[in-house]
């Protein structure tokens, strides 16, 4: 019995050892690997900024375990690409020897790049390489392609004491810097042209008494937690003009610095455009803001009116526009999707919006398209006069039953009026602020809960056609002759920022 127990124990050990083997008999690869892609496009990256990580899957469809003698980049150690193969780093991410692949199995290769514009082909700005599998008669290749954009980089600089430049904001300091009109490298940083895109790290501040100007077609990309700040007595001039193609070649565009298509509609990639208390005389025309935390943060602007025309603001984590005791005149303005509100006119102020489209389909029960109030909630609630809040020929819509919130506290003015507007609002009951049918002082020709039939809300296309409830429902008294795209409006005009157009079937 003792001998049987001993032999049984030895057998278990032998079985355990054989089952834990990590090596296997493999035959050399015969050049019949299969790949998930034959070309990896790493999308567009800025010079010197690392790309996202892209994936290639390699399949062994044979019945045999195989050994791949080598996997390497065609440009070797000089390649600007780098890889990991099945979790291995290899030789600086450039080459790998004797990679085993089980029968009917697969492994992953992860690819990244960091390249400069000087590395790219000067005619098409493409940087290319290949992943080479094996060699000789068994050689197989996967192409690598990346578009490299040269850019002007703006960021806080190191001080002589070794610290990094910061900006004073109240009693705090934030990561940022002042734009310099005589910068020794970039020249006039207060003039943004369309020659190259700009990439901003931290908050770029416009000094007091200075004006920052953006030419038609200029492109500005903000890194995470970055933005633009207008100091007291500083001025913002956005000089975009109507474009003739969907590339928006004449639009000024503010967005994040992640250029991959997967990031095109991801909210909260950067901070805000902050028009601080005391900044003045801002004029914004044909600007597109995408994927910010707050698109435009507008404080009391020294009593001057912020002119916003032909502007689009999309996919902001908190607000498209957050105004506090501000003065705004908005024309042909489109705001779509924000975590809290597309437009928030708070703590009083004066606001007039004509032919604007405010929509919110954010997946949160707390979202609305438009908020208007006359107070600020702090340690001690404060009220300010809302001297004007007028909406003419506008659309206020979204995915929830009530897309407009009016809220007032006594002790200050609360003047508001909606003329010829399409509103998404179901429950108004006895609240005196929402008497759409019986309060002509505040509401005239209101259409409620009728579908504007936007083209593709999920792609920020809020165009309408002649089947829309907003079609020909505007009042000519408030007519803007051109819509946001430069199309001539007919009479009676459509509501919102877009003149109707037939959609492709």
- DSSP helix/strand/coil, 401: coil
pLDDT per position as a tens digit, 453-485: 999 999 999 999 999 999 999 999 999 999 999
Same domain, 34 and 169: no
Please report the pLDDT score of residue 24 as a whole number: 53
Tokens linked to 127: 């940087």
- In this structure, are strands 287-290 and 252-256 parallel, antiparallel, or unpaired? parallel
Same domain, 158 and 118: no
Look at 95-109, 209-223, 427-441 and tell me which has the smallest mean pLDDT: 427-441
Q: 83 forms bridges with which residues in the sheet?
A: 111
Same domain, 63 and 39: yes
Instruction: Look up the domain containing 95 and give its range.
Output: 27-149
Contact indicator for 499, 490 with CB cutoff of 8 Å: yes
pLDDT per position as a tens digit, 301-345: 888 999 999 999 999 999 999 999 999 999 999 999 999 999 999
Cα separation, 56 vs 69, whole angstroms:
18
Across residues 90-107, what is the average pLDDT? 95
Please report the pLDDT score of residue 219 as a whole number: 97
Same domain, 351 and 427: yes
Same domain, 280 and 361: yes
Tokens linked to 10: 């030895």
Tokens linked to 40: 């990896």
Contact indicator for 320, 343 with CB cutoff of 8 Å: yes
Residue 499 lies in a domain: no
Same domain, 133 and 237: no
Distance between first and last Cα of the chain: 85
Residue 275 lies in a domain: yes
pLDDT per position as a tens digit, 207-238: 999 999 999 999 999 999 999 999 999 999 99
Q: Is the dihedral angle over the CA atoms 291, 200, 160, 233 positive or is it negative?
A: negative
Label residue 290 by pLDDT band (50, 70, 90).
very high
Label residue 505 by pLDDT band (50, 70, 90).
low
Contact indicator for 268, 256 with CB cutoff of 8 Å: no
CATH label of the domain that carries residue 38: 2.60.40.1510
Same domain, 108 and 120: yes
| Backbone φ and ψ of 52, nearest 5° | -70, 170
Same domain, 202 and 273: yes
Question: What's the 3-state SS for 361-397?
Answer: CCCCCCCEEEEEECEECCCCCEECCEEEEEEECCEEE
pTM as predicted: 0.85
Q: For the chain, how many structural domains are there in total?
A: 2
Tokens linked to 319: 């607000």
Cα separation, 45 vs 125, whole angstroms:
11
Residue 501 lies in a domain: no
pLDDT higher than 90, residue 23:
no
| Backbone φ and ψ of 438, nearest 5° | -125, 10
Question: What's the 3-state SS for 304-362?
Answer: CCEEEEEEEEEEECCEEEEEEEEEEEEEEEEEEEECCEEEEEEEEEEEEEECCEEEECC
Same domain, 312 and 448: yes
Residue 439 lies in a domain: yes
Give the end of a domain, one of 86, 119, 149: 149
Helices (H), 103-156: none
Please report the pLDDT score of residue 428 as a whole number: 67
Same domain, 44 and 59: yes
């Amino acid at each position: 019995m003792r001998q049987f127990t001993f032999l049984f124990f030895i057998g278990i050990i032998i079985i355990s050892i054989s089952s834990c083997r990590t090596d296997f008999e493999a035959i050399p690869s015969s050049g019949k690997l299969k790949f998930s892609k034959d070309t990896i496009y790493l999308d567009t990256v800025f010079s010197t900024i690392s790309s996202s990580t892209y994936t290639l899957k390699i399949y062994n469809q044979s019945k045999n375990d195989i050994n791949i003698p080598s996997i390497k980049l065609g440009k070797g150690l000089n390649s600007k690409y780098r890889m990991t193969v099945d979790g291995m780093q290899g030789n600086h991410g450039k080459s790998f020897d004797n990679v085993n692949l089980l029968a009917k199995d697969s492994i992953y290769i992860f690819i990244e790049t960091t390249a400069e514009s000087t590395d790219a082909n000067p005619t098409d700005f493409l940087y290319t390489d290949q992943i080479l599998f094996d060699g000789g008669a068994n050689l197989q290749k996967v192409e690598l392609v990346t578009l490299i954009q040269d850019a002007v980089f703006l960021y806080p600089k190191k001080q002589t004491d070794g610290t990094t430049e910061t900006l004073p904001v109240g009693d705090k300091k934030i990561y940022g810097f002042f734009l310099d009109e005589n910068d020794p490298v970039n020249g006039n940083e207060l003039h943004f042209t369309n020659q190259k895109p700009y990439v901003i790290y931290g908050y770029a501040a416009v000094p007091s008494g200075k004006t920052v100007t953006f030419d038609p077609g200029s492109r500005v990309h903000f890194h995470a937690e970055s933005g633009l700040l207008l100091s007291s007595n500083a001025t913002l001039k956005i000089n975009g003009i109507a474009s003739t193609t969907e590339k928006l070649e004449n639009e000024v565009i503010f967005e994040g610095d992640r250029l991959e298509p997967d990031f095109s509609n991801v909210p909260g990639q950067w901070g805000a455009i902050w028009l601080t208390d005391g900044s003045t005389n801002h004029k914004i025309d044909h600007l597109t803001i995408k994927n910010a935390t707050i698109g435009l943060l507008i404080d009391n602007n020294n009593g001057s009116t912020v002119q916003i025309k032909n502007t689009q603001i999309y996919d902001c984590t908190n607000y498209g526009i957050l105004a506090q005791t501000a003065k705004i005149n908005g024309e042909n303005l489109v705001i779509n999707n924000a975590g809290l509100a597309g437009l928030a006119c708070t703590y009083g102020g004066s606001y007039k919006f004509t032919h604007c489209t405010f929509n919110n389909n954010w997946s949160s029960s707390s979202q609305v398209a438009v908020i208007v109030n006359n107070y600020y909630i702090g340690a001690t609630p404060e009220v300010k006069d809302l001297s004007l809040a007028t909406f003419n020929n506008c659309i206020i819509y979204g995915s929830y039953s009530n897309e407009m919130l009016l809220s007032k506290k006594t002790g200050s003015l609360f003047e508001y009026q909606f003329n010829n507007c399409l509103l998404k609002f179901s429950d108004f009951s006895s609240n005196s602020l929402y008497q759409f049918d019986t309060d002509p002082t505040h509401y005239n020709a209101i259409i409620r809960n009728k579908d504007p039939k936007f083209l593709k809300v999920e792609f920020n296309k809020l165009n309408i056609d002649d089947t829309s409830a907003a079609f020909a429902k505007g009042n000519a008294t408030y007519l803007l002759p051109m819509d946001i795209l430069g199309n001539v409006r007919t009479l009676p005009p459509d509501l919102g920022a877009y003149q109707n157009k037939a959609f492709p079937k």
